[in-house]
Amino acid sequence: VNDLICAACGREGRTGPVWPARCLCGGLWSAATPELYPTPGVDEEGVIEPVPLWPDPLDPELWWKREDLNGTGSFKDRGATVLAAVAEQAGARRLVLDSSGSAALAAASAAARSQLPLTVHAPGTLPRAKREALEVLGATVVAAGNRGAASARAQEAAEREFYFSHVYHPAFFEGTAQSGVEVLEQTGGAPPPVWVLPVGNGSLFLGLALVLARVGIGDAVRLVAVQAEACPGLRAPGGSGRTEAAGIGIADPPRREEILVALSRHRGEIVEVTEEEIAAARESLGRRGVAAERAAAAAEAGVRRLRAAGEDGPILAWLTGSGHRGG
């Protein structure tokens, strides 16, 4: 069964032990048959537990989806768990990826649970604590050179091994979509009408957009993508600015066009926040008892912007990842 379809030219493709990251035309894959992907936590027992909707103690009209409470402290556990199941289904023997952040940690955990060996290619600057966190989960870590070199090594290995990419394989979005499915269950199908989340590569954003399209309440929800002013990858891709919020520090998101289409479909907007606003939001969340990663703090900074602009109704925001791991 061809499970992949090129969003640009409509050509079909198939996930095997090795699969091409892009269509021959250069387009990116969407899921042609998402119903054939295993959804752990639904099909199997207790792999991904629901995370709570947390009422903000300071803002009575704000709720947080606590993705920081997932096993490795990030929403990426959801996508990685589904992608590992897909890799297993496809007969993969080894997984490979290039990342040093939360995607690698989630991949290492999911790979270990699926008993598939994983190699992580990271830059030589990978901090020792992050390396240890990956190795304790059984991953092989190759840390050398700059980000480009790490990426090139992973691309080369992906000619022989399963490319465990949270950007290129659409099964990842089927996993992150579960966060939206949970929200609908937790709110009796009537969620707050404004959804605010940090967006880098868009791996959570695109999953939530899938859910909205499928349940047909898309019109009732406005999506707000929060980015760092220092790295406005959606509005002005290809810049050289850097943000401390690594999770959203993506200068040129490969799925930018898809993200922009989903934004326009949901009356969405992009809110850009400064490094100072992110730092202040992180401190403020800390005083509420939550250690947030900087990307998640950007969401809080985005909510403050919306409030300042007169948005006074109910808001749902995503606490995408924990700050306990640094980042």
Instruction: State which residue, 23 or 95, has the beta carbon closest to Zn ion.
Output: 23
Instruction: State which residue, 7 or 291, has the beta carbon closest to Zn ion.
Output: 7
Q: Least distance in Å: CB of 27 to Zn ion?
A: 4
Separation of alpha carbons 29 and 149, rounded Å: 24
Phi, psi for residue 323 in degrees, rounded to 5: -90, 0
Structure tokens belonging to residue 287: 């005083």
Instruction: State which residue, 130 or 169, has the beta carbon closest to Zn ion.
Output: 169
Please spell the DSSP secondary structure of 200-240, one letter per residue.
SS-HHHHHHHHHHHHHT-GGG-EEEEEEETT--TTTSTT--
Structure tokens belonging to residue 130: 């992050």
Instruction: State which residue, 3 or 272, has the beta carbon closest to Zn ion.
Output: 3
Are 105 and 75 contacting, i.e. CB atoms less than 8 angstroms apart?
Answer: no
Instruction: State which residue, 29 or 318, has the beta carbon closest to Zn ion.
Output: 29
Q: Least distance in Å: CB of 134 to Zn ion?
A: 34
Instruction: State which residue, 9 or 36, has the beta carbon closest to Zn ion.
Output: 9
Q: Least distance in Å: CB of 261 to Zn ion?
A: 17
Separation of alpha carbons 214 and 296, rounded Å: 26
Q: Least distance in Å: CB of 10 to Zn ion?
A: 7
Question: In 262-287, which positions are buried (b, 16+ CB within 10 angstroms) versus exposed (e)?
Answer: bbeebebebbbbebebbebbbebbee
Q: Least distance in Å: CB of 33 to Zn ion?
A: 17
Separation of alpha carbons 214 and 121, rounded Å: 35
Q: Least distance in Å: CB of 20 to Zn ion?
A: 10
Q: Give the bridge partners for 74, in sequence order.
A: 321
Q: Least distance in Å: CB of 167 to Zn ion?
A: 17
Positions that interact with Zn ion (CB under 5 A): 6, 8-9, 11, 23, 25, 27
Q: Is the dihedral of CA 31, 231, 178, 206 positive or negative?
A: negative
Instruction: State which residue, 13 or 145, has the beta carbon closest to Zn ion.
Output: 13
